[in-house]
Amino acid sequence: MSSSWSALHAQLSRSVHRHSALATFSTLLPQNDRIGRFREPTKLLGWLHSRGSDPDSKNKMLSRLLQKACGDPSGSDLAVELLLLALWPGLCTLRHRLRDLAPVSALDADLVSQLTIGIRSARPERIRRVAATLLRNLERDLRRAYLHDANTRYSTCDCEGLDAVDANEQMDRPEVIAAAAASAFGKDGVLLTTVHIAGFSQKEAATLLGISHDAARKRCQRAMRRLTEFDGA
């Protein structure tokens, strides 16, 4: 775990344990049923992170926090911070899956800031599984944003103008990969990058590129055949 990622977690942890936050925490959740028994954030988060805890009860708790984050001015900031910490293991998984699409420092900031936006703008009454929905939407939105950025920049990337050293150093950058694929395969290269580098499904890529799912499938197959032929040449 990088120092910046650890620092973000530590900052959130300190924030939810401030005296004023603890005072707010005591009124954040109802105390009249089984899952309202927590007296401070550490115990709540420990229970939410425990594999032995009942999934439905955890989802019920996350739903309550989401409702507070969206509709209760007095406790919304604390509810958002608790949700961020509750979903931190999922954020770590996304961070690993998206690490090739953006610089680490930008990715770390985007994960936390965009999840915060997702929490604030959520409609709790329409969400059945809180963790899965928020994290799935976050991954989708970040993948789209990073792919759009890479595909916007690939046309200005002069891959042929790179010397051997520069090319070797830059071929792990998404926009350079996108540029190389587009240079070799045209529009099929953009589709290939969308599916095999950015991680979209063929159906999702088809929607993004404004083509049918069947067309995306055929173009991916065609590009992969060309890539195999090119590799064997």
What does the pLDDT read at residue 198? 66
Check residue 203 and give its pLDDT. Answer: 81
* Greater model confidence, 172 or 141: 141
What is the average pLDDT score of the chain?
79
From the list 155, 180, 151, 154, the residue with the least C-alpha distance to 168 is 180
Q: Are residues 69 and 7 in the same domain?
A: yes
Q: Identify whether residues 135 and 76 lie together within a single domain.
A: yes
Residue type, 87: L
Please check whether residue 148 lies inside any domain of the structure. Answer: no
Residue 50: left if φ>0, alpha if ψ -120 to 50, beta else—which one? Answer: beta
Domain assignment present for residue 146? The answer is no
Tokens coding 74:
């007095």
* Predicted local distance difference test score (pLDDT) of residue 81: 95
Q: Residue 200: which CATH number?
A: 1.10.10
> Could you tell me the residue range of the domain that residue 79 belongs to?
3-140
Split at pLDDT 50, 70, 90, the class of 159 is very low
**Count of domains for the chain:** 2
Any domain includes 74: yes
Residues 108 and 176 placed together within one structural domain of the fold: no
Same structural domain, 77 and 117 = yes
What pLDDT score was predicted for residue 178? 60
One domain, residues 108 and 14 = yes
Measured CA to CA in angstroms, residue 32 lies from 27, 35, 37, 51, 82 at distances of 12, 9, 8, 24, 20
25 in Cβ contact with 40 (< 8 Å): yes
Cβ pair 174, 101 in contact under 8 A: yes
Which of 26-35, 65-74, 121-130 is the least confident region? 26-35
Distance of CA 168 to CAs 39, 99, 217, Å?
Answer: 54, 19, 31
Tokens representing 150?
């890479």
Q: What is the model's pLDDT at position 207? A: 74
Instruction: Among 106, 140, 174, give the residue marking a domain's end.
Output: 140
* Residue 87 DSSP SS3: coil
If asked whether residues 21 and 47 sit together in one domain, one would say yes
Is residue 145 situated within a structural domain? no
Q: What pLDDT is recorded for position 74?
A: 78
Q: Do residues 46 and 109 both lie within one domain?
A: yes
Q: What digits encode the pLDDT tens for the residues 97-146? A: 888 888 888 899 999 999 999 999 999 999 999 999 999 999 989 988 88
Among 105, 140, 175, which residue terminates a domain? 140
151 inside domain: no
Are residues 42 and 117 both part of a single domain?
A: yes
Shared domain for 11 and 36, answered yes or no, is: yes
| Same structural domain, 16 and 102 | yes
Q: What HEC string does 4-29 produce?
A: HHHHHHHHHHHHHCCHHHHHHHHHHC
Do residue 119 and residue 177 come from a single domain? no
Instruction: Tell me: do 108 and 38 sit in the same domain.
Output: yes
pTM > 0.75: yes or no: no
In a domain, 210, yes or no: yes
Please tell me the predicted confidence (pLDDT) of residue 146.
81
Last residue of a domain, one of 140, 167, 195: 140
